[in-house]
Amino acid sequence: MEGRALVLYKRENNILAEELGSYEVETGLQFITKAYVENDICYIYLSTDRDVTDEQYNEIFDLYDMELFENFGFEIKEVEEYNPTWLIKFEFKDDYDYMEDKLNLIVSHHEMQINEIYKKLGIE
Find the radius of gyration of the CA atoms of the chain.
Answer: 15
The structural domain count of the chain equals: 1
Average pLDDT value for residue range 9-21: 86
User: How many Å apart are CA 117 and CA 80, to the nearest integer?
Assistant: 19
Provide CB contacts within 8 A for 27, sequence distance 6+.
107, 108, 111
| Among 99, 98, 94, CA closest to 35 | 99
In the prediction, which pLDDT does 1 show?
38
Answer whether residue 2 shows pLDDT above 80: no
Q: Write out the residue range of the structural domain in which residue 42 sits.
A: 5-121
Alpha carbon distances (Å) from 10 to 2, 5, 81, 92, 105 = 25, 16, 23, 10, 21
pLDDT of residue 16: 82
For every residue of 9-46, DSSP letters joined together read EEEETTEEEEEEEEEE--S-GGGEEEEEEETTEEEEEE
- Per-residue pLDDT reduced to its tens digit, 32-70: 999 999 999 999 999 999 999 989 999 999 999 999 999
Within 10 angstroms of residue 63's Cβ, the number of other Cβ atoms is 15
Pairing of strands 85-91, 75-79: antiparallel
